[in-house]
Structure 1
Amino acid sequence: MGSPETKQTKIWLAYSGLLLAVFFWAVNTVIAKAVVLEIRPMALSFYRWLIAFMIILPFAVSHLKKDGALIRQHLGFLFVLALPSVAGYNSILYFGAQYTTAVNISLVVAAMPVMTLLFSWIINKEKPLFLQSMGIFISIIGMLLIITKGSRQLLLNLSFNPGDLLIVFAIASWAFYSVLLKKRQIHISPISFLTVLIAFGTLCILPLYVWEFVVYKGFELNRVNISIFLYLGIFPSILSYIFWNYGVRTIGASVASVFMYLLPVFTAGIANVFLQESLFFHHFSGGLLILLGLLLSSRRRT
């Protein structure tokens, strides 16, 4: 058994890694909004994952050879998993960023665990507890409060910001992926799994990027844009994944999930400084309802 000092060091490393993972994702959200007028969504998504694939592949080759038989056995399912995760989630999020604020994106994304619980109920027939059901309901109210800006008139007229609705669709895409992953687990190494999903996801994005390029043309490949793509390919795509999984293995999924509550906090701070985005009452009240819903939905039987 490890010494108490070693265990304590691992715990602090896990906490630090989780903080960095969420921070990198927050910056990803702000970047999506900041570059929306210069770099189209599919270009942002395609080059992000292409760079991530090029970086991770040399480290994954030996693992891919070892897991080759299992990968071939589950090739179809791995392709299905890549659609709502690598190909779907961020591409839809980048489209949504054209029409809404980075703060709105982060607040709605914070409700992802509740959306996953709802999908588990629908697909896997995992009936939630009473408190979990209340959590789902309260979080949905919080999301509605944010996307309607607290206006009853907008709700009654079903006049929603298309960007906010796209973000809801994006988190539904990721929740669907999470439920599928739990329904049928594939016992290959994490790096093999991530590499295959990135490869399939990037291939799925490619035809959409080509169409986007033909219709809207490209973007200027300057030093700033290259830096943005390198950041997206390394930090939120690879390092966040590594740090998050280390945190989950070290302190458990339930404790790690609490760190996602910091996503709106980090995003709001960064967006306020770099994008001059303001916070309003519906942001605070909707965010608090989502937080309450998350706390209730994370309860388990003892």
Structure 2
Amino acid sequence: MKAPLYLVLATLFWSGNFVVGRAAVTSMSPLDLTYWRWTFAAVPLLLLAHFVEKPDWRAVLSRWPALLLLSALGMGAYTLLLYAALGHTSAVNASLITAANPALIVVMAIVLLGEKATRLGWLGIGLGLLGVLLVLTRGELQRVLSLSINTGELIMIGAILVWGCYTIIARKLDIPAIAATAMQVVMASLTLTPFALALDVRLPQTPAEGWSLAYIVVFPSLGAYLFWNLALKTTPPGTAGNYLNLIAVFTAIITVALGTPLTSAQIAGGVLVIAGVLLTGMKVRAKRPVAAGSSLGS
């Protein structure tokens, strides 16, 4: 019974990243948050990997070209885009767009890897797309024709496209998940350092900024990855993937608890996105077996 609890905690922590990140970007830049998030998380993640997975570090390091590419996509580009998007849209909208990620990954696998989906799977993809459009247009679908969509939500679409590429590539990586994540985080911190120095990245200046960064480092960066990968030891990846739908649910609950009501478009869009992901995830068949992808990089 521990695995379901671990999966729930992981998705809860990632949900908090949307809410806390949305508050933090009002005074800190996306580069501030991204750089310090991974810099402070690097050593603890290495220790987690070493004691939980006990990997062959020489074998891990031999895969450095793939790890560097994944670091640039998942830890660098995705995280920067996520926090940039949160500067222009709500945590709920960002999480609902992210909830369409599994369906997007299926589409990318079909296009890039030649995988196939059933008719029910395509129906799920269509429902997910409709749900995202409802969220993007605030329930006014005609806004798509005029391209009247919030800048933050367009950035968030870019973020999930990047994460889709990350996941497709990560499927081919045959090294322990926490060790792979830890090395990507270390690489992200190192490669972002010149930009951090050039752009004068700053540490938190107020208690609120400090607590926000502390949450982002401890919970979505360390705790969520630990719980997710512990759960995967006894839970099939497909089953675990369905728990990712809880991110949008938890984000909505936290947002409402903080006093911001949900709109009818957000509720309807969320239902369609989650229904679409469930249909897509349950009914996709591949030409060849595919290894489990990485956990969500929120």
Q: Which amino acid aligns with 2:223?
A: L
Work out the CA distance in 2 between the residues paired with 1:86 and 1:69.
22
Contact 1:23 1:263 in 2 (8 A): yes
Q: CA 1:127/1:211 → structure 2, altered by over 3 Å: closer, same or farther?
A: farther
Q: CA 1:208/1:140 → structure 2, altered by over 3 Å: closer, same or farther?
A: farther
Contact 1:18 1:243 in 2 (8 A): yes
Q: Which amino acid aligns with 1:209?
A: A
Correspondence for 2:113 among 114, 124, 139:
124
Q: Which amino acid aligns with 2:59?
A: L
Contact 2:82 2:156 in 1 (8 A): yes
Q: How does 1:71-150 map to 2 (within 5 A)?
A: 71-150=60-139
Q: CA 1:251/1:155 → structure 2, altered by over 3 Å: closer, same or farther?
A: same
How far apart are residue 155 of structure 1 and its match? 1.0
3-state SS, counterpart of residue 116 of structure 2: coil
Q: CA 1:153/1:233 → structure 2, altered by over 3 Å: closer, same or farther?
A: same
Correspondence for 1:196 among 172, 183, 193:
183
Task: Indicate the larger mover: 53-62 or 89-98.
Answer: 53-62
Q: How does 1:29-48 map to 2 (within 5 A)?
A: 29-48=18-37
Q: How does 1:250-265 map to 2 (within 5 A)?
A: 250-265=234-249
3-state SS, counterpart of residue 150 of structure 1: coil
Task: Indicate the larger mover: 132-141 or 225-234.
Answer: 225-234
1:285 aligned partner: 268
Contact 2:132 2:273 in 1 (8 A): yes
Cα deviation, 1:160-186, whole Å, max 9, x if unaligned, reads 10101111111111111111111x223
Contact 2:100 2:277 in 1 (8 A): yes
How far apart are residue 64 of structure 1 and its match? 11
3-state SS, counterpart of residue 160 of structure 1: coil
2:278 aligned partner: 295
Q: Which amino acid aligns with 1:282?
A: A
How far apart are residue 244 of structure 1 and its match? 1.2
Q: CA 1:220/1:298 → structure 2, altered by over 3 Å: closer, same or farther?
A: closer
2:215 aligned partner: 231
Q: CA 1:192/1:295 → structure 2, altered by over 3 Å: closer, same or farther?
A: closer
Q: Which amino acid aligns with 1:51?
A: F
Contact 1:67 1:192 in 2 (8 A): no
Task: Indicate the larger mover: 204-213 or 165-174.
Answer: 204-213
Q: Which amino acid aligns with 1:191?
A: I
Q: TM-score, normalising length from structure 2?
A: 0.88
Q: CA 1:203/1:129 → structure 2, altered by over 3 Å: closer, same or farther?
A: farther
- 1 or 2, which has the higher helix percentage? 1
How far apart are residue 267 of structure 1 and its match? 0.7
Work out the CA distance in 2 between the residues paired with 1:206 and 1:289.
41
Q: CA 1:258/1:192 → structure 2, altered by over 3 Å: closer, same or farther?
A: closer
Contact 1:138 1:290 in 2 (8 A): yes
Q: Which amino acid aligns with 1:50?
A: T
Work out the CA distance in 2 between the residues paired with 1:231 and 1:71.
28
Q: CA 1:127/1:207 → structure 2, altered by over 3 Å: closer, same or farther?
A: farther
Q: Which amino acid aligns with 1:24?
A: F
Q: Does 1:247 align with 2:231?
A: yes
Q: How many residues align?
A: 285
Work out the CA distance in 1 between the residues paired with 2:55 and 2:221.
23
Q: CA 1:301/1:149 → structure 2, altered by over 3 Å: closer, same or farther?
A: closer
Q: Which amino acid aligns with 1:234?
A: V
1:222 aligned partner: 206
Q: TM-score, normalising length from structure 1?
A: 0.86
Q: Which amino acid aligns with 1:296?
A: L
Correspondence for 2:155 among 166, 170, 178:
166
Work out the CA distance in 1 between the residues paired with 2:100 and 2:266.
13
Unaligned runs of 5+ in 2: 286-298
Cα deviation, 1:203-257, whole Å, max 9, x if unaligned, reads 33334434543xxx74653333222222211211121112112223322122222
